[in-house]
Structure 1
Amino acid sequence: MSTLELTDVTVSRGAGPVISNVSLTVTAGTITALVGPNGAGKTSLLEAVSGVIAPSSGSITLAGTPLAKVSRVGRARAGVIHIEQGRAVFPSLTVAENLRLTARNTTEVDEALAMFPELEKRRNSPTALLSGGEQQMVVLARSFAARPKFLLIDEMSLGLAPVVFMRLLPLVQRFAEQGVGVLLVEQFTHLALGVADDALVVASGRVSYQGGAQALLDSPELLHRAYLGGEAA
């Protein structure tokens, strides 16, 4: 089974490390929630995985192949797709045209839209006319059209009401059901943990918990201690 593996990864910005010594394995078909306080280094870790920035130490491998010398574009072509913060749509393009930017053919566009009935109805509408939630669906559909092996999602809920975000989470679960490995960074901790198989909590730039997501949901005390930077379980 394909894996995305981080071993002792440290990411630095400016004067020093923002997140240190992270070891993590994301398996195809599973969701790992990466949660923690603001400023804990979660976004920097995703950027290191996708190739936006280089880690200062440690290794990242895809199915056993080191990614250190692979560019961001190369990683995307290999199946590591990064959804960054914000809804990066092309507002003047229609929904279908946005998806064609990553899809290889019309069939892949149709298959991606089939997962999003609300978008199917508006496939020929400019994305500028869509709601914030619908625009985020376009981003997800465009990522799915790229045939990802692993999907890195950074704060999908940014700027959205929790009720809208809750409509998007089942779509992420469907990605995993189709064999995509998902690494999900999210501010709505309990909602993210509710769909995740595994969880990694980072606080003060270090891992304070690593294990099952359900265990954190079942123990508010454990989650609270992890957020305060307690020792990893």
Structure 2
Amino acid sequence: MSELVLDGVTVSRGAGPVISDVSLTVRGGEVLALVGPNGAGKTSLIESISGVVGHSAGSLSLDGERIDRLSRVSRARKGIVHIEQGRAVFPSLTVRENLSLTARTPAELEAALAPFPELEKRIDSATALLSGGEQQMVVLARAFAAKPKILLIDEMSLGLAPVVFMRLVPIVQSIAESGVGVLLVEQFTQLALGIAREAVVVAGGRVSFQGTAEDLHADPQLLHRAYLGG
């Protein structure tokens, strides 16, 4: 299975680094939860992986191949798919048309829809008419249809009610179980830890904890200290 490796990655914006010296590994078939307080640099780190922003130090490799100098498009073609904040759908297009951007055949479209019976009922509706949760389902389905090796998910829950987000959590887990490596940045920390194998906490722009998600999930005090940068 695929493996994404970050070694000593630093991302700078403006006057200096927003996140420094991060090393982590995202393995196919697993979820790695990247959590921490707001402003800790999580989004900057995930954007540096997909190529939205550059990094100022360190290296990024996919399956042993350096991807540092590749464009965002080239990284996507290598299998790095980035779900950014904000449910990036094309509102004037139908659900079918949105999914057809990555699903090239009817069979691929059917496979992308399989986890989302809600979408099957609205396949020919304009995406603008869908609820926020349904739009996020479209984003997930479209990303899965792109056949990612590594899926980067940035704050999937943003603007969603917890009950809606909880409907999506098992789907992320099933995507990982299909062999995809998932790096999940999420504000609902306990839910993210509940489906992750490994966890990285960043606070103040640096890694304050790296280990099993089970350890963090079971010990609120350990999580609290990590969020404080201890």
Asked if these proteins are the same fold (TM beyond 0.5), I'd say yes
2:34–2:200 contact (8 Å) kept in structure 1:
yes
The number of residue pairs the alignment matches comes to 230
Aligned to 2:219: 219
Q: Please, which runs of 5 or more residues in structure 1 have no aligned partner?
A: none
RMSD between aligned alpha carbons? 0.7
Give the superposition deviation at 1:117. 1.1
- CA deviations 1:118-147 (Å, max 9, x no partner) are 111111111111110000000000000100
Alignment of 1:157-168 (within 5 A): 157-168=157-168
The amino acid across from 1:18 in the alignment is: V
Tell me which residue corresponds to 1:107: 107
2:213 maps to amino acid: A
Q: Could you tell me how far apart the structure 2 residues matched to 1:94 and 1:134 are?
A: 12
- 1:18 is matched with 18
1:129 aligns with 2:137: no
Normalising by structure 1, report the TM-score.
Answer: 0.97
Query: For the residues of structure 1 that align with 2:100 and 2:2, how far apart are their CA atoms?
Result: 27
Query: How does 1:53-132 map onto structure 2 within 5 Å?
Result: 53-132=53-132
List 4+ stretches of structure 1 deviating above 6 A.
Answer: none
Q: Distance in 1 between matches of 2:116 and 2:147?
A: 16
Per the normalisation by structure 2, the TM-score is: 0.99
* SS of aligned partner of 2:61: strand
Question: How far off its partner does 1:167 sit?
Answer: 0.4
Percent identity of equivalent pairs: 72
Residue type at the aligned position of 1:168: L
State the 1:106 CA deviation. Answer: 2.2
- Aligned partner of residue 207 in structure 2, secondary structure: strand
**Secondary structure of 2:190 counterpart:** helix
Counterpart residue number, 1:210: 210
**Superimposed CA distance per residue, residues 140-183 of structure 1 (whole angstroms, 9 cap, x where no aligned partner):** 00000100111000000000011110000000001011001000
Give ranges in structure 2 of 5+ residues lacking alignment: none
Distance 2:18 2:42 in 1: 9
One-letter amino acid of the counterpart of residue 188, structure 2: F
Give the deviation of 1:68 after TM superposition: 1.2
Q: CA deviation at 1:105?
A: 2.1
